[in-house]
Amino acid sequence: MSAYMWNTFCPTLFGTGASKEVGNKAKELGIHKVMVCTEQALCEFKVATQVIEVLEESDLEVFIFDKCRADAPSTICDEGAAFIRKYGIDGIVAVGGGSTLDTAKAIGIIISQNGNTIRDYYNIGEAEHKMKLITLSTTAGTGSEISQWAVIGDEATGAKEMPIYKPDMAIVDPVLTYSLPAHATAATGMDVLAHCVEALTNKNENPYGYIFAKEGIRLTLEFLPVAVKEPANEKAREQMALAANLGGMAISACGCQIGHSFAQTFGAINHIPHGLGCAWGLPGVMIYTAKYGKRENLEVVADAMDIAYNKNTSTIKLAETLAAKVTEFMKELGIKSLKESGYTLEDCLDSAKRFTHDGAFGNSPGNPGIKEIKEYIKYTYEIY
Ligand SMILES: [Fe+2]
């Protein structure tokens, strides 16, 4: 076995009602003047407000920055850093989906670097960490609350960049996901499945990620359809919050692969929600892995999905069975296909040349060049 790299994670407070502890945790981290980094809609729908109220009751000075939006645009990150300086803020509590948590990480980077724009710091690693950050996810999907990556949409180039900043603490409270609509619950849940499968099948798969990813797959298959159909089902929301967290740990340990490259390149061009792009990209990951990766990794995925196979099952047949399982699952969740959503094969192929710039791409098995990328995109388009 060759050596492999895993990353350790931030402390996580997990459980229904856990967000009530946010004030105490902020104070433990030495925060006095806190920026709540969030989205306007989350204030309107009284999701972020639940967290804001707890902070205010804890006698912290609270400043609300509610400009975060999908794709974490680089200029919003820069605005957030200027907001911190304007009010002398000494800590961030981020409340939102993956893009909002990633925006908060980018703000942490800019402040730690004494800079003005995240565009200067895409590739520096986490050289400094001067701004405390607590993350609370309002979706059960990205795992961004515990991961080190900030996926930022650079508005000048249109590319997705992935600078690094580790949160100091994550608080995972399923209550914050109760008002997430069915279609967003389905798409963000598919992101969880994609994280777990891609962590298990990429070049850097390792025993640490395996522990998290196998359970993440099992939980998602069992509880995501329930969470979609019964948004207030406490157990389903809690188990999906756990699955998302496990998926985040799996990718922190192993990374992703070509499915996420599709989600992040095609998604950036067409402004597709991350989870939806991941859902579309996932069936093809099975076939791609059969051709260029390891059979035993697909067997692990099959075990987690409770799919039968034996030594006489060909690798490509196994992959096709897994891809069919995923597409059936997407239908059950009410996720429209690429074709039903109005995209042509040419639209999808447009993203091919950007794959090599994507942060997840380097972990894809084999040595994919443009031919293999186009082949993957073609079967991704045709499979669902
Ligand atoms: Fe993802």
- At residue 18, φ and ψ (nearest 5 deg) are -60, -25
Q: What 8-state DSSP symbol labels residue 149? A: B
141 Cα: distance to centroid of ligand 1 (angstroms) = 7
pLDDT at 2: 66
312 Cα: distance to centroid of ligand 1 (angstroms) = 33
pLDDT at 8: 64
85 Cα: distance to centroid of ligand 1 (angstroms) = 31
87 Cα: distance to centroid of ligand 1 (angstroms) = 33
Could you give the 3-state DSSP secondary structure of residue 53? helix
185 Cα: distance to centroid of ligand 1 (angstroms) = 14
CA–CA separation, 226 and 22 (whole Å): 28
Residue 159 has pLDDT above 90, yes or no: no
142 Cα: distance to centroid of ligand 1 (angstroms) = 5
19 Cα: distance to centroid of ligand 1 (angstroms) = 23
Q: What 8-state DSSP symbol labels residue 12? A: E
Residue 373 has pLDDT above 70, yes or no: yes
pLDDT at 341: 97
Q: What is the mean pLDDT of the chain?
A: 95
- Show the DSSP H helices in the chain as ranges: 22-28, 40-44, 48-57, 74-87, 98-112, 182-201, 207-229, 234-254, 258-270, 274-292, 295-304, 315-332, 345-349, 370-383
Q: pLDDT per residue over 32-75, tens digit each?
A: 999 999 999 999 999 999 999 999 999 999 999 999 999 999 99
Question: Domains of the chain, with CATH numbers?
Answer: 12-177 (3.40.50.1970), 182-383 (1.20.1090.10)
pLDDT at 117: 98
How many Cα neighbours within 13 Å face the side chain of 163? 31
pLDDT at 6: 65
Residue 199 has pLDDT above 90, yes or no: yes
275 Cα: distance to centroid of ligand 1 (angstroms) = 6
Most distant CA atoms of the chain, gap in Å: 66
Residue 5 has pLDDT above 90, yes or no: no
Q: pLDDT per residue over 275-292, tens digit each?
A: 999 999 999 999 999 999
| pLDDT > 70 in the chain, percent | 98
Query: Which residue, among 9, 12, 38, 39, has the nearest Cα to 25 in the 3D structure?
Result: 12
55 Cα: distance to centroid of ligand 1 (angstroms) = 29
CA–CA separation, 217 and 214 (whole Å): 5
186 Cα: distance to centroid of ligand 1 (angstroms) = 13
How many Cα neighbours within 13 Å face the side chain of 213? 30
Pairing of strands 152-153, 160-161: antiparallel
Query: Which residue, among 103, 100, 131, 130, has the nearest Cα to 118 in the 3D structure?
Result: 103
Angle (CA) 283-285-286 rounded to 5° is: 75
Average pLDDT over residues 176-194: 97
Q: Say which residue the tokens 């992959």 belong to.
A: 319
pLDDT band of 125, cuts 50, 70, 90: confident
Average pLDDT over residues 250-275: 94
Q: Look up residue 101 and give its two tokens.
A: 């948590």
241 Cα: distance to centroid of ligand 1 (angstroms) = 14
pLDDT band of 124, cuts 50, 70, 90: confident
Average pLDDT over residues 197-219: 96
Could you give the 3-state DSSP secondary structure of residue 359? coil
274 Cα: distance to centroid of ligand 1 (angstroms) = 6
75 exposed, middle or buried (CB, 10 Å; 0-12, 13-18, 19+)? middle
Q: What 8-state DSSP symbol labels residue 153? A: E
**pTM of the model as a whole:** 0.93
pLDDT band of 127, cuts 50, 70, 90: confident
247 Cα: distance to centroid of ligand 1 (angstroms) = 9
291 Cα: distance to centroid of ligand 1 (angstroms) = 23
Q: How many CB atoms lie within 10 A of CB 82?
A: 12
Residue 359 has pLDDT above 90, yes or no: no
More confident residue, 90 or 9: 90
Average pLDDT over residues 239-254: 94
Could you give the 3-state DSSP secondary structure of residue 13? strand
126 Cα: distance to centroid of ligand 1 (angstroms) = 21
58 Cα: distance to centroid of ligand 1 (angstroms) = 34
59 Cα: distance to centroid of ligand 1 (angstroms) = 36
Query: Which residue, among 259, 329, 244, has the nearest Cα to 293 in the 3D structure?
Result: 259
86 Cα: distance to centroid of ligand 1 (angstroms) = 33
171 Cα: distance to centroid of ligand 1 (angstroms) = 19
